[in-house]
Amino acid sequence: MLEVEAVQIADVKKKIIDNISHVIFGKDEVIEKLIIAFMMKGHVLMEDVPGTGKTVLARALATSLGLKFRRVQFTPDLLPTDLTGLSVYSKKTGKFEFKEGPIFTDILLADEINRATPKTQSALLEAMAENQVTVDGITHKLSDNFFVVATQNPIEYEGTFPLPEAQLDRFAFILKVGYPKHEMEIEMLTSQMDHHPIVDVKPVLSSNEAKDLRNVIRGVTVDDTIKEYIVSINERTRFNKDLYLGASPRASLNLMKGAMAHALLNERDYVVPDDVKVIVKETLSHRLILTSEARVRLRKIEDVISEIIEKVPVPVMKKNEI
């Protein structure tokens, strides 16, 4: 069993990051936020240009956590049953038998999710929200470690189906890997001269320990002043003149759980304001919609979030609270 002490969890984080860094160079912050999303039982939408390592990152995380990994290429002809599975008649038994689809795994990579039709995209909603799928009126439970990493290309929109707000809200974070730094890209070239380094990535945890990792944040203390801080940030998005749609209550919950996971990964069993600040853009960016007037003025979601953070008073933690 995985120990729950904050120092030991921080050590687990270091081992996972060091392990994944064999294939993803110079992206420790992105890897940490992916770990946070897994710990809080959320899901991640990775939006970046092709070739930045999104698929390899998801696969390396699954290997590091000792979990099963499946990749599904989303295309316009992908059907919901291609994802969830379907009931097939068996001549041997004379009954319909359920054949599991690729969604029955631990970590699912939904590659180019916006290329599938809305009907297929919606097949993920129940799985992401309730950790189960319903086929032919029968509910099938998914893995306790079920975690979706979806990707989409922010440049090419031809032949795509934009994700509706209801589905975007199911993702805890939106992450961008970004291009590697000059020296890191050279190191990447060197590492792949003989073979792909993904084969050198070994499990850091077992599947049971990964399951424990998703439960340890329960012991993290969140003071009422931190909860007030989180809600105040989200409320300001709902009444901002530049935003047509603000953050949902689910965003508040994700901010709190993400802050709890970040605190634990940084050797604390209590949350401070900086734990909230470090994940606020990843939590809110995909949930907010600019007004048409704001888009005309070339406003950016990230700038609006930064302004809100600056205006919301930061709570002062007393010694007896920490």
Instruction: Convert the pLDDT of each residue in 242-297 to its tens digit.
Output: 999 999 999 999 999 999 999 999 989 999 999 999 999 999 999 999 999 999 99
Whether the CA torsion 264, 268, 270, 275 is positive or negative: it is negative
Whether the CA torsion 124, 129, 131, 134 is positive or negative: it is negative
d(CA 79, CA 85) in angstroms, rounded, equals: 10
Q: Are 66 and 206 in contact (CB under 8 A)?
A: yes
pLDDT of amino acid 6: 62
Q: Are 174 and 286 in contact (CB under 8 A)?
A: yes
pLDDT tens by residue, 242-255:
999 999 999 999 99
d(CA 35, CA 98) in angstroms, rounded, equals: 33
Residues across the chain: 322
Dihedral angle, C-alpha 35, 163, 153, 290, nearest 10 °: -90
User: Which residues on adjacent β-strands are paired with residue 151?
Assistant: 46
d(CA 22, CA 201) in angstroms, rounded, equals: 7
Distances (CA, A) of 2 to 39, 150, 211, 214, 216: 13, 28, 9, 11, 9
pLDDT of amino acid 160: 81
Q: Which amino acid is at 204?
A: V
- pLDDT above 70 as % of the chain: 95
d(CA 192, CA 219) in angstroms, rounded, equals: 42
- Alpha helices (runs of H) in the chain, residue ranges in sequence order: 6-20, 28-39, 54-64, 80-84, 118-130, 165-168, 182-191, 207-213, 224-238, 249-265, 273-277, 280-284, 292-296, 301-311
Q: Are 36 and 262 in contact (CB under 8 A)?
A: yes
User: Which residues on adjacent β-strands are paired with residue 108?
Assistant: 70, 148
pLDDT tens by residue, 201-244:
889 999 999 999 998 998 899 999 999 999 999 999 999 999 99
Kindly report the pTM of this predicted structure.
0.90
- pLDDT above 90 as % of the chain: 65
- For 46: left if phi > 0, alpha if psi spans -120 to 50, otherwise beta; the answer is beta
Share the mean pLDDT of the chain.
90
Q: Are 70 and 37 in contact (CB under 8 A)?
A: no
pLDDT confidence tier of residue 320, bands split at 50, 70 and 90: low
pLDDT tens by residue, 132-174:
998 888 899 999 999 999 999 877 767 788 888 888 999 999 9
- For 3: left if phi > 0, alpha if psi spans -120 to 50, otherwise beta; the answer is beta
d(CA 160, CA 113) in angstroms, rounded, equals: 9
What is the spatial order of strands in the sheet that 69-73 belongs to? 69-73, 107-111, 147-152, 44-47, 173-175
Domains of the chain: 1-216 (3.40.50.300), 220-315 (1.10.8.80)
Residue with tokens 């090419």: 156
pLDDT of amino acid 2: 42
CA Rg value for the chain: 21
